[in-house]
């Protein structure tokens, strides 16, 4: 018989209709260590997103506090601090779409979606935060990279996952993921560098 301590559980979540990697602990002590690692920023996460924009995207750091009001997350000066690093990977001016890599230095609900919509443009397929041009069954946001080091009391790991065909079906054929996308945004740095 399984005890409550041996039931696998996720230490974080992905937004509904997004794709990618989720860290799942096999037992309670590992879950506590993972939760502490996320809380203290010992976990490095990277995302890919397709964004609606008619301007070329520049490398930038979005530092906008976020708050939830009536179930909707928004930029709010009185909100919790949130930092997202953005690196452009491709731009298709004819279709008004950019491919970007993201590194979240905080883990607020809908952080990537709200930061991108506020500073650059809505994620393709994300009607909630402004993409009115697409009725896709998913949003073009993919959690493609996760890593932590042994300092959290677990084995050091790095996982990388390429987006599936349904992500690329939202992307013009003129955009392609660079082979070195995770190193482009510094995701292969030691996860400890996220502490600041």
Domains, the chain, ranges and CATH? 44-146+162-172 (3.30.2350.10)
Distant-in-sequence, close-in-space partners of 103: CB < 8 Å, separation ≥ 6: 44, 45, 46, 47, 84, 85, 87, 185, 186, 187
Tell me the whole-structure pTM to 2 decimals: 0.82
Residues facing 47 on adjacent strands: 102, 143
Return the percentage of the chain with pLDDT > 90, whole number. Answer: 36
Residue 15 designated active-site: yes
Higher pLDDT, 122 or 181: 122
Q: What band does 49 get if pLDDT is binned at 50, 70 and 90? A: very high
Task: Out of 15, 76, 135, 149, pick the active-site residue.
Answer: 15
For the stretch 100-110, pLDDT in tens is: 999 988 878 89
Residue 194 above 70 pLDDT?
no
- Check: CB of residue 123 under 8 Å from CB of residue 115: no
């Amino acid at each position: 018989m399984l005890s409550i301590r041996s039931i696998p559980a996720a230490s974080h979540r992905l937004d509904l209709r997004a794709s990618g990697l989720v860290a799942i602990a096999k037992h309670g002590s590992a879950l506590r260590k993972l939760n502490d690692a996320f809380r203290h920023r010992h976990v490095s996460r990277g995302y890919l997103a397709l964004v609606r924009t008619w301007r070329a995207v520049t490398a930038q750091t979005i530092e906008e506090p976020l708050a939830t009001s009536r179930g909707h997350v928004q930029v709010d000066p009185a909100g919790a601090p949130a930092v997202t690093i953005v690196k452009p990977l491709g731009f298709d001016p004819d279709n008004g779409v950019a491919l970007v890599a993201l590194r979240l230095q905080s883990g607020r609900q809908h952080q990537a979606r709200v930061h991108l919509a506020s500073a650059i443009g809505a994620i393709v397929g994300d009607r909630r935060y402004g993409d009115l041009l697409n009725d896709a069954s998913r949003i073009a946001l993919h959690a493609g990279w996760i890593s932590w080091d042994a300092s959290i009391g677990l084995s050091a790991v790095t996982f990388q996952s390429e987006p599936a065909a349904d992500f690329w079906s939202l992307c013009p054929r003129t955009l392609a993921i660079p082979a070195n996308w995770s190193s482009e945004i510094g995701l292969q740095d030691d996860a400890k560098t996220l502490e600041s």
